[in-house]
Amino acid sequence: MSQINHILQTQGGDILHAIGQHIGLSLISLLIAAVIAIPVAILLMHHERWAKVMLQITSILQTIPSLALLGILIPIVGIGTVPSIIALVIYAVMPIFQNTYSGLTTIDPNLEEAATAFGLSRRMKLFRIELPLALPMIISGIRIATVMIIGTATLAALIGAGGLGTYILLGIETNNNALLIIGAVLSAILALVFGAAIDWLGKLSFKKAGIVLLTLVVLIGGFAGYRKIANPQTTITVAGKLGSEPEILINMYKDLIEHDHPNIQVTTKANFGATSFLFKALQSGSIDIYPEFTGTVLESLVKGEKSASHDPAKTYQTAKTALKSQYQMAYLKPMQYQNGYDLAVTKQFATKYHLKTISDLVAVEDKVHAGFDPDFHQQKDGYPGLSKAYGLKFASVKTMEPSIRYKAIANGKVNLVDGYTTDPEVQEYHLVVLKDDKSFFPPYQGAPLMTEKLLTQHPELRTTLNKLAGKVTTTDMQKMNYQVSVKHHKAATVARDYLRSHGLLD
């Protein structure tokens, strides 16, 4: 609870921004869905066969899992707000269409007969009689759609459209329940508030409800238009993966670029998504730069370079060459720190057996009870390879979710875990990282990735971003991660402090 309070106090602005994004995304999707579904239902109200077809289509669309739908949309429209809105609209169309159609077609036939017999025009019949009578059903359809949209919109964070889902994803990713609760509870509250607002709207007369809806459309449209006009055109978008480390890095990029080139404005998109989303976003031009690891480039992005070398410089060169030839991308020089696998033990355990390197473990291997991430336990560059390279065999090995490992070692359930070199928990739980003295783990060094096109347009970026080359040690990164993800300081502040204290910014 105190952690939630702390986050609310320190990141209140960001959370408000996320709520704003969430509401914007939801309302725009809802309006588009209503603008599609209601007129179509009106058009089809006297064509039962076509209406049935339409119902079938919308029902089928409804059954596509939201993640799959996003996956289908990414190659077509890229990532970010547009595919999120398309997916949400697709989901929202069905309840609105279905309710509008049944509302219009279940009107008492006597009332229809009366309206016809009075010689009312089609238009007057629709607006004076049919739509008002169907309104409660239409409103309830919109209500269902709204609650659904607000819930589903949390997934938009996966493809970089922001919103409250960012906190949910981040919470899951970093095992931070407070963030998860903030994201989940706020989106639930949003759903309730909007449900109530729509109920209130339903109680208004047909005319007043129309006026309220129209005002909303104008406001949102006006706001979107204003944002478009107010934003200068020479902007560079820097995005980062989920987590504190990428967020710190992209804030460093922003500060450096804006400091060196006042004519360029940098937009940061933190927690933009996972590796493949970011890479596709870069390819499609939705974003301009993001920090990527040399090891990840070879493992997941480029073809035919799987066997990573254990030499960091060689790994970087291979990655750089492959990115250039396969994707026409420029990969600037990496920073110093390594974010690869490591093995960590408690301070007591290290002191007791004088452990400094992984080789030191051989002598005490029958006393080691390890807790490993399932991937690490299976992958060749994980425990099986390590065991072969060092001739190690631990007394017991348990596999557990990455997020639980550190808790397990803190509680004494295990006495050795795998981890990433820059994990803030190393500092939080006072762990000792053992040196990989045989250079077994493949190197993972962070470096800015961008298209060659961008670098041609803005060659000045190379010098600016290369200021970070060889800077930022593993300990630096650990400390900064600790500041942000445990102490909840703002990533932007932590980044700026680092740049200032290392003379990169004045």
Partner 1 sequence: MIEFKNVSKRYAGNQALDDLNLTIPTGDFFVLVGPSGSGKTTTLKMLNRLIEPTDGDIYFDDKRIIDYDLKQLRQQMGYVLQNIALFPNLNIQDNIALQAESLGWSRKRRIDRARALLAQVDLDPNQYATRMPSELSGGEQQRVGIIRALAIKPKVVLMDEPFSALDPISRKQLQDLVLQLHQELKMTFVFVTHDMHEALRLGQHIAVMRLGHIQQIGTGEAIMQHPANDFVQGFFENEHTPRPATIHDLLAQGYGEPTTASATLTATATVNELAAALKTQSTAAVMTDHGPRQLTTADLLDYLATKEAD
12-44 vs 177-203: helix crossing angle, rounded to 10:
40
Taking the least distance from each CB to partner 1, the nearer of 128 and 333 is 128
Strand, coil or helix: 139:
helix
224 CB neighbour count, 10 Å cutoff: 12
Exposed / middle / buried, residue 13 (Cβ in 10 Å: 0-12, 13-18, 19+): exposed
**Residues pairing with 419 in the sheet:** 342
Cβ closer to partner 1: 112 or 375? 112
Q: How far is the CB of 114 from partner 1 (least distance, A)?
A: 4
CB of residue 202 vs partner 1: minimum separation in angstroms?
Answer: 13
Q: And the tokens for 291?
A: 């920090």
CB-nearer residue toward partner 1: 132 or 385? 132
Q: How far is the CB of 74 from partner 1 (least distance, A)?
A: 45
The candidate with the shortest Cα–Cα distance to 359, out of 475, 439, 417, is: 439
264: left (phi over 0), alpha (psi -120 to 50) or beta: beta
Give which of 195, 452, 163, 216 is closest to 323, Cα–Cα: 452
CB of 47 to partner 1, least distance (A): 21
Of 118 and 200, CB closest to partner 1? 118
Which one, 63 or 121, has the nearer CB to partner 1? 121
What's the token pair of residue 348?
Answer: 């007591």
Provide the 3-class DSSP secondary structure of residue 241. strand
Cβ 118 to partner 1 shortest distance, Å: 5
Alpha helices in 45-130 (DSSP H): 48-63, 66-77, 81-105, 109-117, 122-124
Tokens of 64: 């596509």
Those residues whose C-beta lies under 8 Å from the C-beta of residue 159, and which sit 6 or more positions away, are 70, 74, 79, 80, 83, 84, 273, 277
Q: Cα Rg for the chain, rounded, in angstroms?
A: 28
Between 128 and 324, whose beta carbon lies closer to partner 1?
128
Residue closer to partner 1 by CB (options 208, 453) is: 208
Element (H, E) at 335: none
Interface ranges with partner 1 (CB under 8 A): 108, 110-111, 113-121, 124, 128-129, 132-133, 206
Contact 360, 375 (CB under 8 A): no
Query: How far from 95 is each of 36, 54, 79, 123, CA to CA, in Å?
Result: 12, 12, 26, 25
Complex with partner 1: residue 140 or 357, whichever CB lies closer: 140
Distance CA 413, CA 432 (A): 17
Q: Between residues 109 and 503, which has the closer beta carbon with respect to partner 1?
A: 109
CB of 127 to partner 1, least distance (A): 11
Q: How far is the CB of 208 from partner 1 (least distance, A)?
A: 14
Tokens linked to 42: 């009106």
Give the C-alpha separation, 187 to 21, whole Å.
Answer: 12
Distance, in Å, from the CA atom of 150 to the CA atom of 145, rounded to the nearest integer, reads 9
Alpha-carbon distances, residue 407 vs 46, 130, 400, 467 (angstroms): 63, 62, 11, 37
Minimum CB distance to partner 1 smaller for 210 or for 385: 210
CB nearer to partner 1: pick between 102 and 284:
102
> Shortest distance, CB of residue 451 to partner 1, whole angstroms?
59
What's the closest the beta carbon of residue 133 comes to partner 1, in angstroms? 6
Residue with Cβ nearer partner 1 (117 or 230): 117
- Select 124 or 211, whichever has its Cβ closest to partner 1: 124
> CA 172 to CA 166: how far, in whole Å?
10
What region does 308 belong to: left with phi over 0, alpha with psi -120 to 50, or beta?
beta
Residue with tokens 């190659």: 75
Query: What's the closest the beta carbon of residue 142 comes to partner 1, in angstroms?
Result: 18
- The least distance separating partner 1 from the CB of residue 30, rounded to whole angstroms, comes to 24
Query: Cβ 130 to partner 1, closest distance in Å?
Result: 10
